[in-house]
């Protein structure tokens, strides 16, 4: 987990509210990723960014938005359009364009919709 | 399209016995393969990866994995299991062509019984 921080650790949201999950890395990594984890479904890719000011949709981008204004930061906003947002959210980063580079993960944020 | 299968949701093993967690993959061309471990309410920790060369890859905490191209498998192994190895294990793959994100399997829960 070292080098990638996610906050908050636990987050509670009322239905209809947007919430933003923070992800910061001090590893000087170019690429950053957001995954969602649900029991029995593994990790599903929401969005990823390979360079500042650029990002791509993953497999389940609907109801989510991101920005990449700084190299070290990749916040994820869960919008009210996401119908089932309760899940464990994991941020990851990777050094650069090298295909062999290892992807490292943050400690995660658990989001619960009340 | 890339995909990873972890055919066992749960693996139980007695402490001191060898353990195997299975992974098969499907990619176009040759793969890069990774294993991660996740402890409860934590992010994923990198264990090992196969890039090229020796088919037997050694990683952290005494784990190793064997790449078998003909069987498209990358099984995780450890000669003697510890209770502290109990966790959720994920296999992941990336194709060598194109800078695509890792694709993860659904995970296998390992339970080591004392």
pLDDT tens by residue, A66-90: 999 999 999 999 998 888 999 999 9
pLDDT, position B15: 98
Where helices occur in B16-85 by DSSP H, the ranges are none
Q: What's the burial of A16, exposed, middle or buried (CB within 10 Å: 0-12/13-18/19+)?
A: exposed
**Option in B42, B99, B104 nearest A42 (CB):** B104
Q: What pLDDT shows up at residue B53?
A: 85
Express each pLDDT in B24-83 by its tens digit: 999 888 889 999 999 988 899 999 999 888 899 999 999 999 999 999 999 999 999 999
Query: Tokens standing for B9?
Result: 């949701």
The two structure tokens encoding residue A75: 């916040």
If you write DSSP's letter for every residue of B86-106 in order, what string do you get? -EEEEEEEEESSS-PPPEE--
Q: How confident is the model at residue B101 (pLDDT cuts 50, 70, 90)?
A: confident
Report the residue from B43, B51, B107 with minimal CB separation from A1: B43
| Mutate which: A7, A101, A102, A109, vs B, most B CBs within 10 A | A102
CB B97 within 8 A of CB B28: yes
Residue A70 per-residue DSSP state: B
CA-CA distances (angstroms) from residue A110 to A9, A35, B20?
A: 6, 12, 30
Closest CA to B19 of B62, B76, B92: B76
CB spacing of A104 vs B46 below 8 angstroms? yes
pLDDT attached to residue B92: 95
Per-residue DSSP letter, A52: T
With a cut of 60, say whether residue A1 has pLDDT above it.
no
A35-66 pLDDT, tens digit per residue, is 999 988 889 999 999 999 999 999 999 999 99
Taking the CA of residue B97 and the nearest CA in chain A, the distance in Å comes to: 9
Whether residue B10 is predicted with pLDDT greater than 90 in this model: the reply is yes
Instruction: Please check the confidence at residue A2 and state whether its pLDDT lies above 80.
Output: no
Residue located via tokens 């996401």: A82
Please confirm whether the linkage preceding A66 is cis (ω < 30° from 0).
no
The span from the CA of B54 to the CA of B57, in Å, is 7
Q: Do A42 and B106 touch (CB under 8 A)?
A: yes
A45 contacts in B (CB within 8 Å)?
101
């Amino acid at each position: 987990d070292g080098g990638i921080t996610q906050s908050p650790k636990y987050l509670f949201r009322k239905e209809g509210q947007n919430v933003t999950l923070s992800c910061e890395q001090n590893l000087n990594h170019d690429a950053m990723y957001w995954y969602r984890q649900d029991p029995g479904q593994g990790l599903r890719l929401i969005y990823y960014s390979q360079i500042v000011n650029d990002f791509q949709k993953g497999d389940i981008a609907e109801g989510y938005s991101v920005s990449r204004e700084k190299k070290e930061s990749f916040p994820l906003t869960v919008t009210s359009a996401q119908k089932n947002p309760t899940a464990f959210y994991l941020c990851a980063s990777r050094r650069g364009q090298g295909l062999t580079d290892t992807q490292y993960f943050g400690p995660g944020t658990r989001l619960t919709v009340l | 399209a890339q995909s990873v299968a972890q055919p066992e949701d749960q693996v139980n093993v007695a402490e001191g016995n060898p353990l195997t967690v299975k992974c098969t993959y499907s990619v176009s061309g040759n793969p890069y393969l990774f294993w991660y471990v996740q402890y409860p309410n934590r992010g994923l920790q990198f264990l090992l990866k196969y890039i090229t060369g020796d088919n037997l890859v050694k990683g952290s905490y005494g784990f190793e994995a064997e790449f078998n191209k003909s069987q498209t498998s990358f099984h995780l192994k450890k000669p003697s299991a510890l209770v502290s190895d109990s966790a959720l294990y994920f296999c992941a793959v990336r194709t060598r062509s194109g800078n695509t994100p890792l694709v993860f399997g659904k995970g296998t829960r390992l339970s080591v019984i004392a």
